Amino acid sequence: MCGSIEGDGLTTNTESKLAVYIDRWRHRNKNISWTRLFQEAGLAAGTAIPIRSGKEGYQPDFKTLNKLADYMGESRRTLWEQAGYVVDADPQTSNGLNSEEQSLIDAYRELDEHSKGIAYELTKSLSKPD
């Protein structure tokens, strides 16, 4: 299945965790094609081929994973994990946070300073006991 990346079938004979994850996301999102997903994420459509084919030894770079995660509305860490960059023996990260908590911190870090101030004050107000 290395040639065309348009199909809607499940990934390949060597199905990587990342390819399976992306395929499931595609099917939940109106069966968007691999080509369209990558193009709308700002990547060359051909970038999907080694991911979808499960090319042995291939790992997409962080820039590719980040663009996909941002477009898909998924946490970057989730795609890093699916691509094999992050392996945790337990559900908490090395800093004691679970992946949901870490994704909130990652999203906060991407905010501009003004938005960080708003997020901080809102979070502080929500955590105060009545």
Instruction: Assign domain 1-87 to its CATH superfamily.
Output: lambda repressor-like DNA-binding domains (1.10.260.40)
Residue 66: half-sphere exposure toward Cβ, Cα within 13 Å: 6
What mean pLDDT is predicted for residues 24-44?
Answer: 90
Comparing 5-14, 25-34, 52-61, 90-99, the range with the smallest average pLDDT is 5-14
CATH code 1.10.260.40 region(s) in the chain: 1-87
Decide if pLDDT at 60 tops 80: yes
Q: Please tell me the distance from the alpha carbon of residue 76 to that of residue 83, in angstroms, as a whole number.
A: 11
CB 52 within 8 A of CB 12: yes
Neighbours of 2 (CB within 10 A): 11
Q: Model confidence over 73-96: pLDDT tens digits?
A: 999 988 998 888 876 545 555 566
User: Is this prediction's pTM over 0.75?
Assistant: no
Q: Which residue has the tokens 């999102």?
A: 29
CB 92 within 8 A of CB 98: yes
